[in-house]
């Protein structure tokens, strides 16, 4: 049958692959020699040794590359293949050159040098990059052009084998190490001072030593450890004072006796300075590490958990050890400050683009500031005390919410959002697990039987689609869940914070910690923009609903420095002049300011004892409290009590009454005041 049915039938073309042409190296671009090995592979006999990898450059020359086109990358030597490009500078440089189209071939001793990736995502992504830019992989055993499907399958098999080897290595090495550590054996860690490792493998009779690689007390060092604990148990001592005591009294860790002078025992002193006698000096940092190590009472901690409480011989009695731990909790517990109420909400508008403001916190009011600075020049644009902004903005927010109805609505909304986000995250994880199982099944099918090119193409496509989706889900899972599904998204802690805050909020606001205030304000407000001037601050409140409101904050008048003329008048008249005369001479100064400055100048006044004593009444004490709370002025106080300010201030000191921080005045601006329900917008 010779008919072609009018050309519908055509002779089938025989497919042939020119293998030599497939892996031909034009020698026109860079030959990148990639060297990497991990610490457990740093042996001369290993196939991955440095000596073996040095021969790759000679292999490139044999393939026709001139020296100027051969780049040898060694910066990843000693870095694990499980790490990504951000931790492997040579790999990052290789990818950069490939994306720029400058690399023709990559020479490596084995495919596993490129990646040991148990998820296979990074290794396969790198393979796709090689394929896209027509980069040939060259090893001493083979050359791979990943544009060919068979070569791509070989590449995938190698990276899968590397992943399996990694899992097997972890099981073999870490499994055995874990068993040995839990039984109290030495596994290569730093031996605490005061102990040595028994490294006698066999006894004199030739039998195996049952105490091989166990901890033993080394008395010359253990005695020093005991001195350190004894000193630290005294209430007046600290690590710094103990280190100073050791230095003054010549207390050091002496060199090991010859039978114990081994690398394992010296390892803990590897970076410690020696004195002229060869002894190791005792530093503050060394004392801190010794004082908090439970090995000295026989405890063994492995992988973050206590595996035994009687596995080592005890150097210190438990009473002394726990006394020192109690004191160390005091040493090592620096005060932590809550974020300021408006932290993360403020933006400065003094720039072409709004700049987010930072904050600093501390024990004093002078250290509690909101700042705007240029991160490039480190120049401050704005410094505003938190007392100027916190109360006005908080009062404005609280005045706009109807708490009776608001509490239930917010809690219901927050609960619904939290449950929805939690279900979304669970859905992501379920989908990732399903895709991983499907990919495993597809790879299994690929290795079974003989398949046509069409079948292999279909399997490749299915695997690639699932890998792409896994990459998307991995990106989502690494982000905060709120960014993955929309904003704002509260979590469980937000719900509890709001529940606590919304009970009698207007009455308890000032008593709540800054952390709780900040949590509620961030849920209600999207941001607050500031336009800062010398006398006023214009703040725009932008709610999550999109509503914008303006308030005008009047900054407190700063204290004016004393002039030379004022200081001259003060020095000449402070001791003898009457109070009224001094107030007339210095009209811009209050009596408290005059007295404070006089004391600073070392001046004193002639005090006259009162001619008669009159006890303070409860009514006068209340007036005094009102004056210090800035509710009445000085003239009203003196008129109603008939007493001098010296007498009144002395009474205030005896009662422990102090000046309250000055109230910052603010007002609504541009008719912004309106009742609103600041509920977050629904997430589409």
Residue 479 pLDDT: 47
Distance CA 349, CA 258 (A): 71
Beta strands in 80-229 (DSSP E): 103-107, 136-138, 143-145, 195-197, 215-217
Q: Which residues neighbour 47 within 8 Å (Cβ) at sequence distance 6 or greater?
A: 109, 110
What band does 528 get if pLDDT is binned at 50, 70 and 90?
A: very high
Residue 447 pLDDT: 55
What band does 246 get if pLDDT is binned at 50, 70 and 90?
A: very high
Residue 45 pLDDT: 45
Higher pLDDT, 225 or 414: 225
What is the average per-residue pLDDT within 642-653? 82
Beta-carbon count within 10 A of 563 CB: 10
What does the pLDDT look like over 113-162, one tens digit per residue?
888 776 677 788 888 889 988 999 998 888 888 888 888 888 888 888 87
605-613 own/partner pairs: CB under 8 Å, 24+ apart: 605/574, 605/575, 606/575, 606/576, 607/646, 610/647
- How is 507-549 classified by DSSP, letter by letter? HHGGGS-HHHHHHHHHHHEEEEEEEE-SSEEEEEEEETTS-EE
What band does 483 get if pLDDT is binned at 50, 70 and 90?
A: very low
Whose tokens are 């063994």? That residue is 300
Beta-carbon count within 10 A of 14 CB: 5
For residue 675, pLDDT beyond 70 = no
For residue 394, the number of C-alpha atoms closer than 13 Å in the C-beta half-sphere is 24
Domain architecture of the chain: domains with CATH: 20-175 (3.40.50.1390), 195-331 (3.90.1750.20), 337-556+663-684 (no CATH), 564-655 (no CATH)
The per-residue b/e assignment along 350-379, b for 16 or more CB within 10 angstroms, e otherwise, is eeeeebebebeeeeeeeebbbebbeeeeee
Token code pair at residue 512: 């709540």
Residue 169 pLDDT: 62
For residue 647, pLDDT beyond 70 = yes
For residue 477, the number of C-alpha atoms closer than 13 Å in the C-beta half-sphere is 15
Compute and round to an integer the Cα radius of gyration of the chain.
38
Q: pTM of this prediction?
A: 0.38
Higher pLDDT, 433 or 45: 433
What does the pLDDT look like over 581-638, one tens digit per residue?
888 888 878 777 888 888 888 888 766 555 567 888 888 888 888 888 777 877 788 8
Higher pLDDT, 318 or 498: 318
What is the average per-residue pLDDT within 374-391? 78
Residue 75 pLDDT: 83
Distance CA 407, CA 506 (A): 13
Distance CA 431, CA 568 (A): 82
Closest CA to 446 of 85, 438, 91: 438
Residue 615 pLDDT: 85
For residue 408, pLDDT beyond 50 = yes
Residue 501 pLDDT: 58
Residue 651 pLDDT: 85
Closest CA to 189 of 179, 177, 200: 177
Distance CA 22, CA 339 (A): 62
- How is 304-352 classified by DSSP, letter by letter? TEEEESSSS--SS-HHHHHHHHHHHHHHT-----PPPTTTTTEEE-SSS
How far, CA to CA in Å, does 637 sit from each of 75, 304, 402, 440, 630? Answer: 78, 65, 39, 86, 11
For residue 679, the number of C-alpha atoms closer than 13 Å in the C-beta half-sphere is 17
Distance CA 13, CA 80 (A): 48
Higher pLDDT, 42 or 249: 249
For residue 32, the number of C-alpha atoms closer than 13 Å in the C-beta half-sphere is 24
Whose tokens are 């979590």? That residue is 491
Angle at 635 between CA 633 and CA 638, to 5 degrees: 110
Distance CA 403, CA 409 (A): 10
| Average pLDDT of the chain, as a whole number | 77
- Supply φ then ψ for residue 224, to 5 degrees: -65, -40
Distance CA 542, CA 505 (A): 21
Distance CA 460, CA 442 (A): 9
Residue 368 pLDDT: 82
Residue 201 pLDDT: 84
Residue 601 pLDDT: 82
What does the pLDDT look like over 36-45, one tens digit per residue?
876 544 444 4
Contact 590, 619 (CB under 8 A): no
Distance CA 276, CA 283 (A): 16
Specify the range with the lowest mean pLDDT, choosing from 377-386, 495-504, 546-555: 495-504
Angle at 671 between CA 666 and CA 675, to 5 degrees: 90
What is the average per-residue pLDDT within 357-375? 74
What band does 193 get if pLDDT is binned at 50, 70 and 90?
A: very high
Distance CA 35, CA 542 (A): 55
Residue 54 pLDDT: 78
For residue 482, pLDDT beyond 50 = no
Residue 609 pLDDT: 59
What band does 488 get if pLDDT is binned at 50, 70 and 90?
A: very low
Specify the range with the lowest mean pLDDT, choosing from 19-28, 190-199, 231-240, 318-327: 19-28
What is the average per-residue pLDDT within 547-565? 83
Residue 302 pLDDT: 74
Specify the range with the lowest mean pLDDT, choosing from 98-112, 393-407, 414-428: 414-428
Give whichever of 156-160, 263-267, 553-557, 672-676 has the largest mean pLDDT: 263-267
For residue 430, pLDDT beyond 80 = no
Residue 66 pLDDT: 92
What is the average per-residue pLDDT within 517-546? 88
What does the pLDDT look like over 48-106, one tens digit per residue?
566 677 788 888 899 899 989 999 888 887 777 777 777 788 888 899 899 888 999 99
Angle at 78 between CA 91 and CA 40, to 5 degrees: 130
Q: Is 120 left (phi over 0), alpha (psi -120 to 50) or beta?
A: left
Specify the range with the lowest mean pLDDT, choosing from 187-191, 213-217, 264-268: 187-191
């Amino acid at each position: 049958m010779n008919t072609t049915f009018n050309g519908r039938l055509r002779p089938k073309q025989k497919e042939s692959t020119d293998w030599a042409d497939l892996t031909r190296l034009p020698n026109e671009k860079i030959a990148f020699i990639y060297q990497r090995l991990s610490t457990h592979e740093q042996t001369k006999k290993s196939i991955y040794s440095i000596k073996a990898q040095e021969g790759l450059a000679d292999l490139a020359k044999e393939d026709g590359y001139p020296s100027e086109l051969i780049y040898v990358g060694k910066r990843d030597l000693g870095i694990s293949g499980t790490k990504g490009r951000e931790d492997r500078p040579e790999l990052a440089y290789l990818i950069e050159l490939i994306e720029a189209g400058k690399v023709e071939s990559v020479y490596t001793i084995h495919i596993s040098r490129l990646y040991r990736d148990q998820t296979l995502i990074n290794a396969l992504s790198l393979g796709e990059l090689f394929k896209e830019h027509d980069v040939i992989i060259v090893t001493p055993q083979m050359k791979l052009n990943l544009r060919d499907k068979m070569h791509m399958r070989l590449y995938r098999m190698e990276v899968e084998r590397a992943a399996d080897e990694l899992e097997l290595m972890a099981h073999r090495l870490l499994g055995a190490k874990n068993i040995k550590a839990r039984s109290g054996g030495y596994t290569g860690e730093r031996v605490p001072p005061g102990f040595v490792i028994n490294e006698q493998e066999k006894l004199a009779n030739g039998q195996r030593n049952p105490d091989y690689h166990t901890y033993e007390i080394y008395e010359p060092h253990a005695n020093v450890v005991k001195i350190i604990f004894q000193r630290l148990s005294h209430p007046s001592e600290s690590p710094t004072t103990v280190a100073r005591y050791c230095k003054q009294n010549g207390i050091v860790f002496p060199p090991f006796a010859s039978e114990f002078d081994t690398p394992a025992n010296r390892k803990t002193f590897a970076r410690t300075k020696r004195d002229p006698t060869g002894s190791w000096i005792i530093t503050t940092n060394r004392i801190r590490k010794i004082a908090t190590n439970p090995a000295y009472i026989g405890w063994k901690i492995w992988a973050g958990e206590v595996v035994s409480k009687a596995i080592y011989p005890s150097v210190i009695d438990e009473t002394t050890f726990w006394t020192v731990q109690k004191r160390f909790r005091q040493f090592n517990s620096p005060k932590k400050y809550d974020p300021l109420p408006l932290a993360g909400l403020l933006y400065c508008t003094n720039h072409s683009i709004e700049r987010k403001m930072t904050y600093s916190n501390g024990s004093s009011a002078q250290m509690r500031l909101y700042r705007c600075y240029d991160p490039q020049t480190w120049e401050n644009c704005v410094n505003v005390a938190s007392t100027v902004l916190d109360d006005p903005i908080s009062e404005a927010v609280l005045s706009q919410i109807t708490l009776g109805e608001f509490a239930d609505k917010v809690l219901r909304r927050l609960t619904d959002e939290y449950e929805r986000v939690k279900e979304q995250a669970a859905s992501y994880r379920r989908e990732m697990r399903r895709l991983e199982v499907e990919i495993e099944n597809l790879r299994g099918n690929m290795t079974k039987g003989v398949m046509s090119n069409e079948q292999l193409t279909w399997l490749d496509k299915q695997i690639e689609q699932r890998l792409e989706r896994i990459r998307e889900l991995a990106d989502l899972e690494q982000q905060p869940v709120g960014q993955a599904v929309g904003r704002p998204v509260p979590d469980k802690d937000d719900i509890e914070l709001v529940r606590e805050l919304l009970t009698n909020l207007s009455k308890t606001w000032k008593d709540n910690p800054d952390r709780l205030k900040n949590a509620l304000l961030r849920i209600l407000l999207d941001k607050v923009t500031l336009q800062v001037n010398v006398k006023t601050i214009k703040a725009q409140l932008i709610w999550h609903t999109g509503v914008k409101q303006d308030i005008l904050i009047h900054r407190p008048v700063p204290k004016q420095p004393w002039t030379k003329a004022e200081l001259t008048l003060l020095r000449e008249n402070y001791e003898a002049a009457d109070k009224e005369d001094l107030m007339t001479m210095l009209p811009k100064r209050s009596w408290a300011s005059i007295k404070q400055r006089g004391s600073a100048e070392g001046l004193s006044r002639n005090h006259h004892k009162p001619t008669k004593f009159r006890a303070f009444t409860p009514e006068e004490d209340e007036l005094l409290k009102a004056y210090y709370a800035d509710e009445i002025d000085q003239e009203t106080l003196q008129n109603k009590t008939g007493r001098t300010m010296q007498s009144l201030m002395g009474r205030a000191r005896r009662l422990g009454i102090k000046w309250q921080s000055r109230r910052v005045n603010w007002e609504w601006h541009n008719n912004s005041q309106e009742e609103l329900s600041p509920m977050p917008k629904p997430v589409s």
